[in-house]
Amino acid sequence: MSAHRAPARPAPRRHGGSRLRGPLLYLVASLGLLVMAAPFLWMALSAFKTKKDLTASPPVWIPSEWTLSNFDALLDQLDMSRYFLNSLIVAGLVTICNLLFCSMLGYALAKLNFAGRSKVFALVLAALMVPGNLMILPLYVLMNRLGLIDTYAGLVLPFAAGAFGVFLMRQFMQSVPDELLEAARIDGASEWFIFWRIVMPLVKPALATLTIFTFLSSWNNFIWPLIATNDPDKYTLPVALATFANDPNRTVGGGNGMLMAGSLLVVLPVLVVFVALQRHFTQGIATAGMK
Amino acid sequence: MHRAARTTSVAFVLTSALVLTACGSSDGDSVAADEKQTLTVWAMGTEGEKLGDVAEKYQEANPNITVKVTPIGWDVAHQKLVAAAAAGKLPDIAQMGGSYMGEFAEMDVLEPVDTSVFAEKDFFPAAWKQGTIDGTTYGVPWYVDTRVLFYRTDLAEKAGITEAPATMAELQQAAKAFQDEAGTKWGLSIQPGGLDTVQSFYQFLYSAGGEIVNEDGKAVVNSPEAVRALENYGSYFKQGLSEKSVRPGYDVTKDFNAGSVPMFFGGPWIMTLLDENYPDIKGKWAVANVPTDKASVSMAGGSSLTISADSEHKAAAKEFIAYLTGAEGQADWYQRTSDLPANTGAWESGELATDPDLKVWRTQMETAKVSPTLPKWTEITSKVDAAIESVTQGKSSAKDALDKAQSEIEGLVE
Amino acid sequence: MSPTTGPAADGAATVEARRPRPPRAPAARSVPRRPRRHGVGRQNLAGWLFSTPFLVLFGLFMLFPIVATLLMSFTDFGARNVTRPLEAEFVGLDNYVKLFEDDKFLTALSNTAYFVVVGVPLTILLGLLVALLLNNGIDRARTFFRVGFYAPVVTTIVAAAVVWRFVLDPADGLVAGVASALGVTAPDFLGSETWAMPSLIAMAVWRNLGTVMVLFIAGLQAVPAEVREAARLDGASPWQELRRITVPLLRPTMLYATVITTIGYLNVFEEPFVMTQGGPSDSTLTVSLDMYREGFNFFHMGYASAMAYVLFVVIMGITVLQLRLLKDNTR
């Protein structure tokens, strides 16, 4: 399959060693793939199963009869397009904010020698380590006072600049050669210019990574949107899905199919983002920096 | 730098105090029932899904009222309710189970039930009691839930069992017979350990005449009755009649269908579940009352409807609840959800009065026992869970395990 | 042909020696060059300006909850204080003292340590291997493989739990089936105190491998192909190439991956929550799960907050240690 071809250069590598190595690697990778992807496949296949297959014991992998009834039931019970849109707006905004803010601070921490840098970095690390579970109650009280419950702002702002992202960008920006920046500075470029026009294009793989991670975690974020929205019109996808079929006593059996169908719908956009962005992993710093 | 740090921290203490206190309860103006208004209702799980339809019907009859139902999943309901209570943002009406009501009553966020509108005698005694804390009732019973014995009649025949086990001794004999004669993998499915194992144990404990905490609020979990009940419970594991390790989320109906588990204790929704998912075994299973030890006593559960103390729509909320918990509304609700009505009046006519299976539920419900509504109840039962687990895993005797639980629970009830 | 693919015996040096096109900033051109120390002042200002958005958002939305929780940890904050927080009684360090006498918490602490000590190295090592495999060994259908290995990260925990239970089932599970075909009896993984934790670790490694893999693949792009080519021309074996060139150049990524994986594993919650509920007999009870129960099931918010801060201190200590050991080269 020509699933991917490196855009700039035709794959130049020659596998050294024996001719067996290539096929052997594929064999290993395929086996690993099987182990890794099996539960995902299970989820995807289960979404198309009838009740009979879902409850069969021992479990069946391939549906004996394919059905869309799980999706029908789901769309029937939930206003999926609205939840989808809400999720897209929230995850989109969170991702954009993170790309910008985290890169900015990451750049400052990696490449700008300013007084207080180590203190800011320590703060970022500390923010990274705070166990989040318990913060929710005071945060809710605060957001309620600010009138941000049931608003997009209330869903986006607490996650608009994540410490993980800052740390990630800092690590990647460290590998940008200092000489590049010095040269630009000598030429009189502003720090913003250096950041935006020189460093950012060089760390595309990192930006792609950050986009994938941020989008995924925001898209799947569950507890906060659950607490911070009371109006079903503002529910995000995972919250909406959780409102049904998760009665611990009743999730068994038929509910599972709908849950799997819902999960599949939730997961697909994340996979699209991943597939779209992973190609940036082949445009390395060396190539980009030396045009 | 140091001084700056100190000032900021003081500032934060102050702001936090301000933010946290400023959201205390405001009594609010109350709106009369016949004015135009919107009622907010939070309901969980299946109830949350189905209540919307009933609300629509209600709005047609009462054009001045708009009912806004927010469905919430069970596993997250608690956190959401707590956050809302902290911010003074509870809905006008919330569905709550027994343990929740104890907790939220303690937070002073629930409005006591108006006993001139809702009468105790209309409901199952256990259901009413579950919403009563220190003599004040905070929830009107909406639907009830109890556990009865489910068993496979076709396998029973194979095992030479002609009637449902009526006593605890017969239950164990039946479990053995299923295994030996009908070749089932297990005899009876009961939970060996983990969270809420106690729900599986209640049938044994209550029927033996034991309790965890008695009427006077004293811990009595190591009473001779309780010890005997736990010994009986543990013997199923010792003899290999019950599975020693069961994962959370274990779906017993699957094994019931496959025939590896011929008996288990289950709630009313299991009937719907079996009918819907396993039409193949229809007519091959039946329900029976909990086998008698000293008596046949099952656990009672279910949900009540509560009104927030901060609500500005108490009058209208009361009317909506009266509609939902009245005999007629309850019968309609049963048709929609198969939830067992809490109002005994609803059981006087139609299917509820005639169906033999439903009779089993009704009889069981009349004697069913509700857990005391103590704010620390979840914590108390977690100690009992641990005791049960140590017995089923053969780590300690029933007596030792319960003595330990007793001393822990004594510290929690004071 | 792009210049990057040409033979470059001194590849590493070229990258650093060559400059990009000079930035086209006409206004900047006319500014006379300044001595270096002015550059420091400029970097100071820029540094703080670049930090502002994060610091503002952090100050607004994170600091308050963090401080509030810290305050709570010195009180007996319980259910009744939800609506009357100021009535919570100040108990000083009682919660913290009690924690270290609480057998359950100590068990949770050691379980969590077990989880981290075994889980983190496994995840990092396997993640690196997969990244190398998919970056160097696999040219065809690369996207396909990458998506496949990333799939566990996006799979819902519910679906993952269903399949993992099926895999680990002692009666008709996948592993049990293979074992019995080989003539051995597989243990009751989730039901046994010895095997429950390793099973959860396996599941966590499986779930987090994809994240680490993505990080390493992205990190590998920073290793110029020329450098490796050069090493190969010098006759370095693949192993030498890996040890001498790839791994050292991956250090910032490695540090990041290790730190976030460790933090994530120290906070481990979902796996025991859906698979074992902490059982059997608390053998898989982790600090986060214990905290969740104390805080939200039993409503000892004060006590749970103290747990959160103990965990915080532990995480901080370990992270600082990791930064030292993996030689963070900021300074």
Q: Residue C172 has what pLDDT?
A: 67
Range with the lowest mean pLDDT among A27-36, A55-64, B143-152, C114-123? Answer: A55-64
What is the nearest CA distance from C280 to chain A, expressed in angstroms?
20
Residue A7, in any domain of the structure: no
For an interface test with C, the pick among B8, B26, B247, B251 (most C C-beta atoms closer than 10 Å) comes out as: B247
pLDDT, residue A21, reads: 67
Same-domain status, A28 and A134: no
Q: Which of A240-244, B19-23, B146-150, B277-281 has the lowest mean pLDDT?
A: B19-23
Cβ distance of A137 and B82 shorter than 8 Å? yes
Q: Give residue B307's pLDDT.
A: 95
As a whole number of Å, the CA-based R_g of chain A is: 23
Q: Residue A282's pLDDT is what?
A: 63
Output the CA torsion B385→B387→B392→B393 (10° steps). Answer: 110
Chains that touch A (3 or more CB pairs under 8 A): B, C
Sign of torsion, CA A155 A158 A161 A166?
negative
Closest-CA distance of chain B to residue A143, Å: 9
3-state secondary structure chain A: CCCCCCCCCCCCCCCCCCCCHHHHHHHHHHHHHHHHHHHHHHHHHHCCCCHHHHCCCCCCCCCCCCCCHHHHHHHHHCCHHHHHHHHHHHHHHHHHHHHHHHHHHHHHHHHCCCCCHHHHHHHHHHHHHCCCHHHHHHHHHHHHHCCCCCCHHHHHHHHCCCHHHHHHHHHHHCCCCHHHHHHHHHCCCCHHHHHHHHHHHHCHHHHHHHHHHHHHHHHHCCHHHHHHCCCHHHCCHHHHHHCCCCCCCCCCCCHHHHHHHHHHHHHHHHHHHHHHHHHHHHCCHHHHHCC
> Does any domain span residue A228?
yes
| Cross-chain Cβ contact B21/C297 below 8 Å | no
Report the residue of B21, B75, B264 to disrupt the A interface, i.e. the one with the largest count of A CBs within 10 Å: B75
Same domain, A248 and A157: yes
Residue A16: inside a domain, yes or no?
no
Cβ contacts of B229 within 8 Å, gap of 6 or more: B201, B204, B205, B207, B208, B210, B293
Whole-number pLDDT of residue C95: 93
Q: Which residue has the higher pLDDT, A290 or B393?
A: B393
> Do A82 and A184 lie in a common domain?
yes
Q: Which residues of C touch B376 (CB under 8 A)?
A: 298
Which residues of A sit within 8 Å Cβ distance of B?
51, 55, 57, 77, 136-138, 140-142, 144-145, 149, 223, 226-227, 230-232, 242-244, 246-254
B9 touches chain C (CB under 8 A): yes
pLDDT confidence bin for B240, thresholds 50/70/90: very high
CB A48 within 8 A of CB A68: yes
Residue spans of the domains in chain C: they are 98-325
A252 within a domain of the structure (yes/no) = yes
Nearest to A246 among B75, B91, B276 (CB): B75
- Which of B17, B19, B107 lies at the smallest CB-CB distance from C83? B107
What is the predicted pLDDT for the residue at B112? 94
CA gap B399, B387 in Å, rounded: 10
Write down the pLDDT at residue A64: 86
Q: What is the pLDDT of residue C201?
A: 96
Signed CA dihedral, B166, B168, B173, B179: sign only: positive
Question: Region B272-276: what's the mean pLDDT?
Answer: 85
Looking at chain B, the whole-number percentage of residues with pLDDT higher than 70 is 93
Residues A218 and A281 in one domain: yes
- What's the CATH number where A93 sits? 1.10.3720.10
**Which of A7, A38, A67 is the last residue in one of the domains?**
A67
- Give B-chain residues touching A141 at CB under 8 angstroms: 19-20, 23, 83, 86-87
Q: Which domains does chain B have, with CATH numbers?
A: 30-145+301-368 (3.40.190.10), 148-299+372-413 (3.40.190.10)
Report CB contact under 8 Å: B255, A244. Answer: no
Chain C touched by B393 (CB under 8 Å): yes
Question: In chain C, which residues have their Cβ closer than 8 Å to the Cβ of A108?
Answer: 46-48, 50-51
- Residue B23 has a pLDDT of 44
In a domain, residue A1? The reply is no
Chain A hits for C4, Cβ within 8 Å? 8-9, 286-287, 290
Instruction: Select the more confidently predicted residue: B206 or C324.
Output: B206
Q: Of A116, A117, A206, which has the smallest distance from its Cβ to C218's Cβ? A: A206
Contact A286 C4 (CB under 8 A): yes
- Residue B210 pLDDT > 90: yes
d(CA B226, CA B224): 5
**Peptide bond just before C280 cis, omega within 30 deg:** yes
**Which residue in A has a C-alpha nearest to residue C19's C-alpha?**
A180
How many whole angstroms separate alpha carbon B191 and alpha carbon B188? 10
CA-based nearest residue to A159, from C64, C256, C260, C57: C57
Question: Which one-letter DSSP state was computed for residue B123?
Answer: B
CB pairs under 8 A between A and C: 335
Name which of A224-238, B312-326, C12-26 the model is least confident about. Answer: C12-26
Q: Which residues of B touch A (CB under 8 A)?
A: 16, 19-20, 22-23, 40, 44-46, 48-49, 70-76, 79-80, 82-84, 86-87, 89, 91, 249, 251, 253-255, 257-258, 267, 269, 273, 276-278
Residue C264 gets the label, from left (phi > 0), alpha (psi -120 to 50) or beta, of alpha
The pLDDT tens digits along chain C (331 residues) read 333 333 333 333 333 333 344 444 444 434 444 444 446 677 888 889 999 999 999 988 888 888 888 998 999 888 778 778 888 888 889 999 999 999 999 999 999 999 999 999 999 999 999 998 888 777 777 888 888 898 888 877 777 877 787 778 777 677 877 888 888 887 888 888 889 999 999 999 999 999 999 889 888 877 777 777 787 788 878 788 788 888 888 888 888 899 999 999 998 988 888 888 887 888 999 999 998 888 877 888 899 999 999 999 999 999 888 888 876 554 3
Smallest Cα distance from C72 to chain B, Å: 11
Q: Show which of A7, A40, A67 is a domain's final residue.
A: A67
pLDDT of residue A244: 59
Do residue C53 and residue A105 have CB atoms under 8 angstroms apart?
yes
CA–CA min distance A209, chain B (Å): 31
Chains touching C (at least 3 CB pairs under 8 A) are: A, B
pLDDT at C233: 82
Query: Residues A146, A273: one domain?
Result: yes
Partners of chain B (3+ Cβ pairs below 8 A):
A, C
Domains identified in chain A, total number: 2
Contacts of A8 (CB under 8 A, 6+ apart): A283, A287, C2, C4
Residues in C touching B193 (Cβ below 8 Å): 279-281
Determine the pLDDT at residue B155: 94
Interval A115-147: pLDDT, tens: 889 999 999 988 888 877 778 878 888 888 888
Q: Is B87 on the interface with C (CB under 8 A)?
A: no
Contacts of C64 in chain B (CB under 8 A): 12, 15-16, 19
What span, in angstroms and rounded, lies between the C-alpha atoms of C214 and A281?
A: 9
Least confident segment among A60-74, A140-154, B192-206, C1-15: C1-15
| Chain A positions in Cβ-Cβ contact with residue B277 (cut-off 8 Å) | 51, 55, 253-254
Antiparallel, parallel or unpaired: β B110-111 and B65-72: unpaired
Domain C98-325 belongs to what topology? MetI-like fold (1.10.3720)
Q: Are residues A59 and A106 in the same domain?
A: no
**pTM assigned to the model:** 0.81
State the Cα angle at C74 between C69 and C80, rounded to 5°.
75
Query: In angstroms, rounded to a whole number, what is the distance separating the alpha carbons of residues B291 and B165?
Result: 6
Which residues have a Cβ under 8 Å from the Cβ of B47 and sit 6 or more positions away?
B95, B142, B143, B303, B337, B339
Identify whether residues A59 and A142 lie together within a single domain. Answer: no
Mean pLDDT of chain C: 80
Which residues does chain A have within 8 Å of residue B49's beta carbon, measured at their own beta carbons?
Answer: 77, 243-244
Domain residues for A31? 21-67
Residues A56 and A77 in one domain: no
Distance from CA of C148 to the nearest CA of A (A): 5
Shortest alpha-carbon distance between residue A147 and chain C (Å): 14
Distance from CA of A15 to the nearest CA of C (A): 8
Which pLDDT belongs to residue C16? 35
Contact C281 B193 (CB under 8 A): yes
What residues contact C127, with CB distance under 8 A and at least 6 apart? C208, C209, C211, C212, C213, C215, C216, C257
CB contact under 8 A, B103 and C299: yes
Contacts of A49 (CB under 8 A, 6+ apart): A60, A63, A67, A70, A257, A260
**What digits encode the pLDDT tens for the residues A142-195?**
888 888 888 999 999 999 988 989 999 998 898 888 888 889 988 888 889 999
Alpha-carbon gap: B379 to the closest alpha carbon of chain C (Å): 5
Nearest beta carbon to residue B23 from set A141, A253, A254: A141
What is the C-alpha separation between A272 and A283, in angstroms, rounded? Answer: 19
Q: What is the DSSP letter of B195?
A: T
Q: Indicate whether B383 pLDDT > 80.
A: yes
Q: Supply the pLDDT for residue C173.
A: 72
What residues in B contact A247, CB-CB < 8 Å?
Answer: 44-46, 73-74
Judged by CB atoms closer than 8 Å, whether chains meet at C46 and A22 is answered as: no
* Residue-wise pLDDT tens digits, A25-36: 888 888 888 888
B121 in contact with C, Cβ within 8 Å: no
B186 Cβ contact partners less than 8 Å away, ≥ 6 residues apart: B175, B179, B241, B242, B243, B255, B260, B261, B262
Cβ separation of B91 and A230 shorter than 8 Å? yes
Percent of chain A predicted with pLDDT > 90: 20
Q: Which residue has the higher pLDDT, B379 or B288?
A: B288
